[in-house]
Structure 1
Amino acid sequence: MRDALCTTDGGVGLATDLAVLSLLAISAWLVLRSGRISLGQQAFFAIGAYAAAIATTLMDWPLAPALLAAAALGAAASALVAGAMSRLSGLHYAVATLAFAELVRLGLSAWHWRVPADDGSQAGPDGVHGFRDIRWLLANGVTPEQFALMALTVLAIVTLALVLLMRTRFGLGLQAVGLDDTLADTSGWPAARLRVAAAALAGALAALGGGLYAHRTTFIDPAVFDPMLGVHAVGYALIGGLASVAGPLLGTALDLGLLEATRWFEGWRMVVFGGLVALFLRWRPRGLLDEATLAALRALPRRRTASPAATDRRSSFTTRTHP
């Protein structure tokens, strides 16, 4: 359940949860950007959580290499899945990704790998009982405030990198494929390869978020990575908007900052969130930050900096040419 993921304990906990879920939402946004809907990004989130936890707990790795290894594993798994499903589209692709995520969750529920810890106890994945004692933060004296800052810094770096990436040939090609893959293919954009590359990047970001989550909670349970987590990730991207990477950030902030952090919607938050998704699919299928809204926002600074003298000259010219 997604509620189990959000272990908010004040402003610091909320900031950390916002960063973690934003990475998952961005991963779903990347797949949407390529013209596919993935309901299985929670699978790579889970893979990253377990991989990073194993690296720091059982192999004594520092956190940074553990997170990078988790991201690499998530990218590889996502690329393999996307390649195998390259001929699917629409509902078939969405259901296939959901089925894969459920297979991962069931596999983790049956996985037991326990090794002796220094204090004589057993550490490692323990099937449905989860993976306990992920204590890297405690062992290294990292405070919740420091970890929140770390998670937000990772999110900021990822966001900036994606903003720059979307301005490159890859970003333009991904947009073209997402809008019309047939036209993109005839224009020289390799739709299949671009989608696999986007899926690999999305898997890496989901796994990175999972690694942060595992160390944030110190305990991971396979039941957390259920279908609703993937549905929420897609919902964040759809509500926030598909035109910019700021869209999934906005959708995540709307859910965590408004629907969950306040008591206005207590007991009704899931109903309100589902209703918002339905309304946006009907009236704003590209989300709050769609292409038209983004273009209007970008035009605001130019309008504000237009000098009065230039406006007077244009008015004078109009008067002379159209008496």
Structure 2
Amino acid sequence: MKRSKKTYLLLALLLIAILFPILMPNQYYLQILILVFIWTIAVYGLNTITGLTGQLSLAHAGFFAIGAYGLGLLTTKGGVPFWLAFVLAIALTVFISFFIGLIALRTKSHFFAIYTMSVGFLIYLLIYKSDLTGGVRGLIGIPNPAPIGPLTFESITSYYYLMLFFLLLTIFFMYRLFHSLLGKTFVAIRNSEELAETLGISVMRNKLLAFVISAGLAALAGALYASYVRFIGPQMADIHVAFEILLYLLVGGIGTLAGPLIGTFIVVLLTQMLQFLEEFRMLVFGPIVVLLILFYPRGIVGGYLMWKAKRAKKKQILQAQHAKGGKEHAVND
């Protein structure tokens, strides 16, 4: 019964997402949701390496930028067809992340975080200083996604459905990963690398695989972002972007399936609502985030799951006590 209720809820949310442009044909709201969809994909990538395997990567914004610039350079300067350039940009990011991961994952704990932060800063400098990328001027004129049969992507509504499609594809992929043997292997590594090794798990190989998957999802989000805004600059590889992605994950719930979506939606929505405060909005937004992390250290979804587990345990104890009391009463009779 519980599973059916959950299924109905998910179907209802999916139906609302599909019908939203029809029920609420406001371009401003659609633009916000498009950004939520794109950043959620990037957050799911970070959740793979940080949430599942416990490795805090701060190079995520760099991989996001490589995906965006890969698409932009291949289409504007290479003349490569859009969807081929889209795939090549993600493949290039995965290829680069593989060699970065080979070195980075030999470090542990805060050393890994510092190393990946340095890698992210190096990517930022390469983009900022290179003439190929346009340097500080950025890259303009990135084309719209090419038509797929009768489907064209020129209106804001068509972009909405395109981003929704890739988000749903990412969520489906993450769902399968979470419930697969590979996902459980990642969690085992997060809980104890030593114990995982004694069970015959190749820790380095699995962490590298998680790192590559993480980079691939970041590149996917970056390529989608570039095709949407059609102008990109080096600031998208800045460390502040990496911390924003991490913030989305922490607020939603690190290591959870729904956390990236909920966290990104709430933070982006709050940021947009507080825009009227301009530079002072962080004075309001900052304490809200701090309080949220203090009272829900595992994020909103993580806090809910903990509350649900405690409630179920308390219910089991009460049932056991009731059953024990019934037996004692029967014996006395």
Task: Identify whether the pair has TM-score above 0.5, normalized to the shorter chain.
Answer: yes
Residue in 1 aligned with 2:181? 169
**CA spacing shift, 1:86–1:320, aligned 2, 3 Å:** closer
Instruction: Determine the C-alpha separation between the residues in 1 that align with 2:35 and 2:258.
Output: 17
Using the TM superposition, give the Cα deviation of residue 230 of structure 1 relative to its aligned residue in structure 2, in angstroms: 0.1
Q: Does residue 1:235 correspond to 2:241, yes or no?
A: no
Q: Are the counterparts in 2 of residues 238 and 280 from structure 1 also a CA contact under 8 Å?
A: no
Query: Paired residue for 2:327?
Result: 321
Identity over the aligned pairs, expressed in percent? 25
CA distance in 1, matches of 2:284, 2:204: 36
Counterpart in 2 of 1:121? none
Q: 1:39 to 1:148 in 2, by over 3 A?
A: same
Q: More deviation in 79-88 or 273-282?
A: 273-282
Work out the CA distance in 1 between the residues paired with 2:255 and 2:202: 21
1:262 to 1:295, Cα distance in 2 relative to 1, 3 A: same
Letter in 2 for 1:177: I
Instruction: State the match for 1:89 in structure 2.
Output: 108
Residue 70 (structure 1) aligns with: 89
Inter-partner Cα distance in structure 1 for 2:235 and 2:270: 26
Which amino acid in the other structure matches residue 230 of structure 1? A
SS of residue in 2 equivalent to 1:134: coil
Q: Does 1:43 align with 2:65?
A: no
Query: Does the 8 A contact of 2:97 with 2:211 survive in 1?
Result: yes
Question: Equivalent residue for 1:204?
Answer: 216
Selected match of 2:41 from 23, 38, 42:
23
Q: Residues 269 and 182 of structure 1: is their aligned pair in 2 closer, same or farther, counting only changes over 3 Å?
A: farther
Find the aligned partners of 1:50 and 1:77 in 2 and give their Cα distance. Answer: 14
Q: Does structure 1 retain, via aligned residues, the 8 Å contact 2:275–2:281?
A: no
Indicate yes or no: 2:210 matched with 1:214: no
Query: Where does residue 117 of structure 1 map in the other structure?
Result: none
Among candidates 135, 139, 158, match of residue 143 of structure 2 = 135
Give, in whole Å, the separation in 2 of the partners of 1:215 and 1:290: 33
Task: Name the aligned partner's letter for residue 166 of structure 1.
Answer: F
Deviations 1:195-238 (A, max 9, x none): 11011001001011111111111111112321110001111111
Amino acid across the alignment from 2:143: R
Asked if the contact 2:270/2:285 (under 8 Å) is kept, the reply is no
Structure 1 counterpart of 2:104, one-letter code: M
Q: Is the 8 A contact 1:16 1:151 kept in 2?
A: yes
Deviation for aligned residue 1:271:
4.2
Could you report, residue by residue, the CA deviation over 1:134-181 in whole angstroms, capped at 9, with x for unpaired residues?
133599662121112101110111111111111111100101111221
- Structure 1 position 89, deviation (Å): 1.8
In the alignment, which of 91, 95, 106 is matched to residue 125 of structure 2? 106
| Structure 2: distance between partners of 1:182 and 1:217 | 45
Alignment coverage as a number of residue pairs:
294
Cα shift at 1:78: 1.8
SS in 2 for 1:10: helix
Task: Output one character per residue of 1:45-90: Cα deviation in whole Å (capped at 9) or x when no partner.
Answer: 1100011112332344443332222221222222221211122122
In structure 2, do the counterparts of structure 1 residues 271 and 23 end up closer, same or farther at CA, with 3 Å as the change threshold?
A: farther
User: TM (normalized to structure 1)?
Assistant: 0.81
SS at match of 1:136: coil
Aligned pair 1:286/2:292, yes or no? no
RMSD: 3.0
Distance 2:183 2:273 in 1: 34
Is 1:151 equivalent to 2:151 in the alignment?
Answer: no
Q: Classify 1:78/1:283 alpha carbon distance in 2 versus 1 (closer, same or farther; 3 Å).
A: farther
Deviation at 1:18, TM superposition (A): 0.6
Aligned equivalents of 2:205 and 2:295: distance in 1?
32
Greater displacement, 193-202 / 32-41? 32-41
